[in-house]
Amino acid sequence: MIRGLMQDRPLTIPGLLTRAETSFGHKRIITGGTEETVATWAEITPRVRRLAHAMDALQVPAGACVGTFAWNSQRHVELYLAIPSSGRILHTVNHRLHGEQISFIVNDAADDILFVDRTLLPVVWPLVSSFTSVRHVIVMDDGGDVPLPDDPRILDYEDLLRGQPKTPIETVIEDEHAAASLCYTSGTTGNPKGVLYSHRSVVLHSLLLLGADVFALSESDVIAPIVPMFHVNAWGLPYAAMQCGADLVLPGPGTAPAELAGLLSRHRVTFSAAVSTVWRQLLSELDGHDLSGLRHLVCGGGAVDDALSLAYQTTIGLPLSNAWGMTETSPVVTTARLGTAHRGLSAEESRQVLGTPGPAVPLTEIRVMSDDGVEQPRDGASPGELQVSGTTIASAYFGTDRGAESFTADGWLRTGDVATIDRWGHLRIVDRTKDLVKSGGEWISSVELENAIMAHPEVHEAAVIGVADPRWGERPLACVVPAPGVTLTIEDLRQHLRGRVASWWIPEQIELLEEIPMTATGKWSKQSLRRRFADTASPAVAEDDVKERA
C-alpha cells in the first residue's frame, strides 16, 4: 500500500472551539428566559478555558463523566466545549425522566460532578443521596428564586470561573476516537442504555448537517434548536453552528410556546428543530409574529402529521421537514429532501415528500431486512426492519453485556423500526416494531392511522395503540384529543376514516381524551396508553369490515 501524504489531524471538539473563536468571534449565542443574554464566541471561549481549569482544580479525573442538568443555554454550550476539550466526557441528563431513572443513569455513568441549572435544582437535589459517585453539584444561576441548600458540595458556576485563568486548556486530545459525550436512550424498554460518542463522530456528524442536501447550514443562518440539549446533543445543532458560524438562539428556561414564538420572530431565526408536539403547541401562538426569516423547520424524532405540516404551510408559508434518527445514531441519519425525481410535483405532493424521512446523509447507509435476514428490494413497498451503519452510528452500548442483540453479525445497528426504502433511496417509516398493531395476522401501521385521524379538522392529536382482542389477536384503539371548543363525535371520526384507510383498520374503540401522555423527550407515551387501556376488550368488528378483510 502507498500511503497518502496528507496531514494527519485528529477530528476533535477543541478544533471546533478554535474555529468558533478565530473565524466567528463576532457571532452570537443568545439565551432566552426572564433576562435574555447575548454573548459572542470571542466572549465565550475564555470562559470555556476557565471552566476547564476549574474542573482541573476540582480534580475531575481524565475520562470521568461530568453530568449536566440544563436548559438550552450559553452555559450549556460552554459545558459542551469545556468538558470534552479537557479530556472528560459530557453526560447530558434528561431532567424530565423519573427520579429512579435519573439515579440509575447518573450512577451508571458514575458522574463525578454535576452542573445543574438553578431552576432544575428541585429535580436534582432530592435525588442527591441516591447518587453514589457525585462529589460536587455546581449550580448555574438561570434566574428564579429556588433556595440553595446549605451544603459544602454545592458550588457556584460563576464563582468557579472567576477564580481561574483564561490560559489555553492544557489537555491535548490526540486520539479522535476518544469518548466525548454520553447520552442515554429513553428506556422505553427496560433500563436506559448509554450511547458513547467519540470526538470524531461528533465532528463528522455536525459537519454532515451543513451539507446542502442535509440542512444546508451556513454562516448566514440563525439556528434555534428547540430540541433540548439533553436530547442527543440537540441533534448536533450547537456543534454545527460552531462549524459554520451561524448565530445560535437558545430558549433557556423559557420553553412556553408563546416565549418560543417571540424568540423565533425577534431574532429572525432561519432554522429551527423540534419534535412534533412542540410544533403543534406553537401553532396557536404564531399569530402576530413575523416569521418570514424562517427557511427550514425540522420536525424530527417521529412521523410528521400532514395536517400539522399543512397548517404551517398555510400560516407561515413553510411546511415541516422530517428527519429520522435515534440516540444511537448521533442522531441524524436521513433528512427530507425534494430531489430531481420530485420535479413537477404539486405543493401538496411536495409537502408529503418533505414529511417523510428522506434519503441517508453521506457516510451513513440504510437497509431494510426481512424477518429471515434477507435485504428487501428498494421498491418503496417491501417493509422490513430498518438497519443502519456508518461512522456516526453506535457499534455497542456503554457498559458491558448490554444490548448486544441490537447489533447484527456484520456490525449494523438494528433500529426496531419497520420501514421501506424506494428506488431513490428515500426512507419511509411504517412504524416502530412494538407499535404495529397485528390484527388477524396482518399489520396496521399506527403512524398511518394516526395521520388519517389527524387529518380531521376537529382533531387536535391522536395516538393509536393495539389492544388485545379475542378474535383478531389485537385491534387498534385510537386515543383522540379534540381541538378546543369543538363537539367531535366518534361517529364523525369513523365516517371521516371511511375511504381513507381500509375499513378493517377503522378502530372500534375511539377514546376521547383531554391530553395524550408524553415521554420525557416530548413524544407520545404509548406505553402509558397501553397500561391505561390494557384491560379494554374491543367490541366485535362490524360484519362488513370482516367481509372486506376476508
84: which DSSP letter?
H
Phi/psi class of residue 401: alpha, beta or left (left: φ > 0; alpha: ψ in -120 to 50)?
left
Question: For residue 37, what is the enclosing H or E element?
Answer: strand 37-40
Please, what is the minimum distance in Å from the beta carbon of residue 303 to ligand ADP? 4
Please, what is the minimum distance in Å from the beta carbon of residue 93 to ligand ADP? 14
- Stretch 501-530 residues interacting with ligand ADP (CB under 6 A): 519, 521, 523
The verdict on 414 binding ligand ADP (CB under 6 A) reads: no
Please, what is the minimum distance in Å from the beta carbon of residue 204 to ligand ADP? 19
Catalytic residue selected from 21, 176, 328, 461 = 328
Q: Using the minimum distance from each CB to ligand ADP, give the nearer residue, 167 or 395.
A: 395
Residues 207, 204: Cα–Cα separation, whole Å: 5
Please, what is the minimum distance in Å from the beta carbon of residue 443 to ligand ADP? 15
Please, what is the minimum distance in Å from the beta carbon of residue 200 to ligand ADP? 21
Asked about 34 being catalytic, the answer comes back as: no
Query: Phi and psi of 374, rounded to 5°?
Result: -105, 135
Catalytic residue selected from 443, 458, 523, 536 = 443
Q: Using the minimum distance from each CB to ligand ADP, give the nearer residue, 85 or 233.
A: 233
Catalytic residue selected from 31, 92, 119, 185 = 185
Residues 377, 238: Cα–Cα separation, whole Å: 37
- Stretch 294-313 residues interacting with ligand ADP (CB under 6 A): 300-303
Query: Phi and psi of 183, rounded to 5°?
Result: -140, 135
Mutual angle of helices 446-454 and 306-316, in 10-degree steps? 40
CA angle 71, 334, 405 (to 5 degrees): 85
Asked about 18 being catalytic, the answer comes back as: no
Asked about 433 being catalytic, the answer comes back as: no
Asked about 185 being catalytic, the answer comes back as: yes
Question: For residue 478, what is the enclosing H or E element?
Answer: strand 473-482
Kindly tell me which residue out of 119, 270, 322, 538 binds ligand ADP, with binding defined by CB under 6 A. 322
* Alpha-carbon separation of residue 68 from 219, 242, 479, 491 (angstroms): 28, 20, 35, 49
Exposure string over 325-346, b if 16+ CB within 10 A, otherwise e: bbbbbbbbbbbbbbeeeeeeee
* Alpha-carbon separation of residue 545 from 211, 367, 434, 472 (angstroms): 48, 35, 25, 12
If binding means CB under 6 A, how many residues of this protein chain bind ligand ADP? 22
The verdict on 73 binding ligand ADP (CB under 6 A) reads: no
The verdict on 194 binding ligand ADP (CB under 6 A) reads: no
Per-residue contact string for residues 251-280; x = within reach of ligand ADP by CB under 6 A: ------------------------------
Which residues form the catalytic set? 185, 328, 438, 443
Q: Which positions touch ligand ADP (CB under 6 A)? A: 185-186, 188, 300-303, 322-327, 357, 415-417, 429, 432, 519, 521, 523
